[in-house]
Amino acid sequence: MSRSAERADLLSNQDVVVAAAPDVSYQGGKTLFMAEGTFDGATVTLQIKTPQGAYITLDTATANKVANLDLPPGLYRANLTGGTDPEDIFVYLISVPQG
């Protein structure tokens, strides 16, 4: 039986630099990492929180991006750093349903 797609919103309509966005719980599995908006030199970093509380960078985006990832269940965050005037930045993790 297939499952429906789950979407975790990591950043939503972000217009200012966020050094430490809140953690979001995500089920893991086959996933699309999607970042979009006007970056204007900014960088989005996708991170997972380890059991010891540290953060490990999994991927980055400096422009609109979609990447296929295979993620474990866990706590994730996206940070927006740098740039002159980033606008309307959205970052999602979207599960890819398996048949």
Q: pLDDT (tens digit, 9 = 90+) per residue, 60-86?
A: 999 999 999 999 999 999 999 988 888
pLDDT reported for residue 29: 95
What residues contact residue 5 under an 8 Å CB cut-off, 6+ apart? 94, 95, 96, 97
How distant, in Å, are the alpha carbons of 8, 28, 56, 93 from that of 85? 25, 32, 26, 24
* Structure-token pair, residue 60: 């980055």
Q: What is the pTM of this model?
A: 0.89
Q: Name residue, tokens 């490990």.
A: 56
pLDDT reported for residue 3: 56
Distance, CA of 36 to CA of 89 (rounded, Å) = 6
Q: Name residue, tokens 């609109």.
A: 64
Low-confidence ranges of the chain (pLDDT < 70): 1-4, 18-19, 99
Identity (one letter) of the amino acid at 17?
Answer: V
Domains contained in the chain, CATH given: 7-95 (2.60.120)
